[in-house]
Amino acid sequence: MKVGVIGAGHRGRNAYARLLRSYEDVEIVSFVDTDIKRLESCKEEFGVEKEFIFDIADDFFKRMDENKFVDTLIIATPDRDHYDICMKALDYGLNILLEKPISPIPEEVAKIAKKAKDKGKVFMICHVLRYSPFFVKIKEILDSGAIGKIMSINHNENIGYYHFAHSFVRGNWRNEDISSPLVLQKSCHDMDILLYLTGANPVTVSSFGKLSYFKEENQPVGASDRCLDCKYQDTCIYSAKDFYKGNPGSQWRHMVDVTMTDSGLENALREGPYGRCVYKCDNNVCDHQAISIEFDNDIEVVFNLTAFSNNVHRDLKIQGTEGELIADDHTMKISVKRFNEYKSAVYDVITNSSGHGGADYGIIDAFVKAIRGDGAEVKTGANESVMSHMMCFASEVSRKEGREVKIVGYIKELN
């Protein structure tokens, strides 16, 4: 496999490219990114020849016209670039791993899915949770009938106060006008996993949410617009002053300063987006949202998405006709208690060290196996991934218009 990576950021490079490199018959041969410093770093790390390093995607495709030098492509660009790049890449008959969301525009999601199906190559969306040992185990327990028929689910995505500040207040996904709504960018994962666990189709959604806290009116009196100039820099829980020098911020430091030097980091915090006060950014995505979903087999779901949690984790309670399941991917514990039984069965899920609780490795391994001919490994192809996006789009219509939305009717209106 000769692999190209368009979008050499945290996901494209750090998660997927590094994992693919561990396979002996896989070679990372090209990177495309708008950040010249990042490209230089990729060139050195992966030993990519200079002629296959591009800062413009069109130049990558022009070179492909001369000589098809990759057969496999990772697309992990900003959300609004997915459509043009993916539709063009499909014309080259490549195997494609596309970062979620497919697109922030519903019509584009449908067009990409249709074209991918017509091409017949391996095409996977990075809904990595279906490959997580944690959710695979939950699915196995549910399918065994351990709690009977599923009746209700309470599912929470706790983004984490610091993760939210980094990604959705200061970072790339802070403003839906240049990226995606929060529920689509962050929680098409969760809509997908609800589809996976229930094996059912959504009927209606009702959504409530808003941006309440991370806005100018909540800025402390006398605070500066940048952390390094602020009198609260040593006391504010959202201060960027030392955040990227230790955990948990160190995992994102390369996104803030590709040079990974003290001077480079200080300069980035003084001039770049990650040093801004969280109350004085151009963010407009919700900081909390609740969605009620009715499925076609009488399953009722309440999904809660929030910035206001200490840890980054998902927890859920699934209640059935014969018992209940409670799980948390922070502790990696799943508890199942059947009605009329004294003890709970507790499962401790073992994962590898890759991201998303081992799911990043899981999806990469499935991608490689699918290209080698094992199509059964594909859980997140175009067909499987479209509905989760439609659920997110419909929930935004509900939230903004204050009404219940019928999923089938919403899709029909899109034609």
Residue 371 lies in a domain: no
Domain boundary (275, 297, 323) is at 275
Residue 360 lies in a domain: no
Residue 204 lies in a domain: yes
pTM of the predicted model, to two decimals? Answer: 0.93
Instruction: Tell me, yes or no, whether 78 and 205 share the same domain.
Output: no
Residue 321 in contact with residue 89, Cβ under 8 Å?
no
Instruction: Tell me, yes or no, whether 162 and 289 share the same domain.
Output: yes
Residue 8 lies in a domain: yes
Amino acid, single-letter form, for residue 321: T
Instruction: Tell me, yes or no, whether 57 and 146 share the same domain.
Output: no
If you count them, how many residues does the chain have?
415
The label of the residue with tokens 């094992």 reads: 374
What is the extent of the structural domain holding 184? Answer: 129-214+283-355+380-414
User: Cα separation of 37 and 202, whole Å?
Assistant: 45
Residue 145 lies in a domain: yes
Number of domains in the chain: 3
| Assigned token pair, 346 | 């507790």
| Assigned token pair, 397 | 């219509």
Half-sphere exposure of 351 (CA within 13 A, CB side): 24
- CA nearest 186: which of 266, 270, 129, 246? 129
- CA nearest 117: which of 363, 383, 371, 379? 383
Instruction: Tell me, yes or no, whether 311 and 271 share the same domain.
Output: no
Q: What is the pLDDT along the chain (415 residues), one digit of tens a residue?
A: 999 999 998 899 989 999 999 999 999 999 999 999 999 999 999 999 999 999 999 999 999 999 999 999 999 999 999 999 999 999 999 999 999 999 999 999 999 999 999 998 999 999 999 999 999 999 999 999 999 999 999 999 999 999 999 999 999 999 999 999 999 999 999 999 999 999 999 999 999 999 999 999 999 999 999 999 999 999 999 999 999 999 899 989 988 998 899 999 999 999 999 999 999 999 999 999 999 999 999 999 999 999 999 999 999 999 999 999 999 999 999 999 999 998 899 999 987 767 777 889 999 999 999 999 987 778 888 888 999 999 999 999 999 999 999 999 999 998 7
Residue 129: DSSP 8-state: G
Instruction: Tell me, yes or no, whether 134 and 122 share the same domain.
Output: no
Q: What is the CATH number of the domain that holds 312?
A: 3.30.360.10
Residue 58 in contact with residue 34, Cβ under 8 Å?
no
Instruction: Tell me, yes or no, whether 187 and 332 share the same domain.
Output: yes
Instruction: Tell me, yes or no, whether 98 and 7 share the same domain.
Output: yes
φ/ψ (deg, to 5) at 314: -115, 135
Residue 363 lies in a domain: no
User: Cα separation of 352 and 364, whole Å?
Assistant: 13
pLDDT at position 394: 97
- CA nearest 2: which of 97, 68, 77? 68
User: Cα separation of 69 and 361, whole Å?
Assistant: 25
User: Cα separation of 409 and 257, whole Å?
Assistant: 46
Instruction: Tell me, yes or no, whether 142 and 207 share the same domain.
Output: yes
- CA nearest 182: which of 191, 173, 170? 173
Instruction: Tell me, yes or no, whether 8 and 98 share the same domain.
Output: yes
User: Cα separation of 308 and 400, whole Å?
Assistant: 22
pLDDT at position 353: 66
pLDDT at position 375: 77
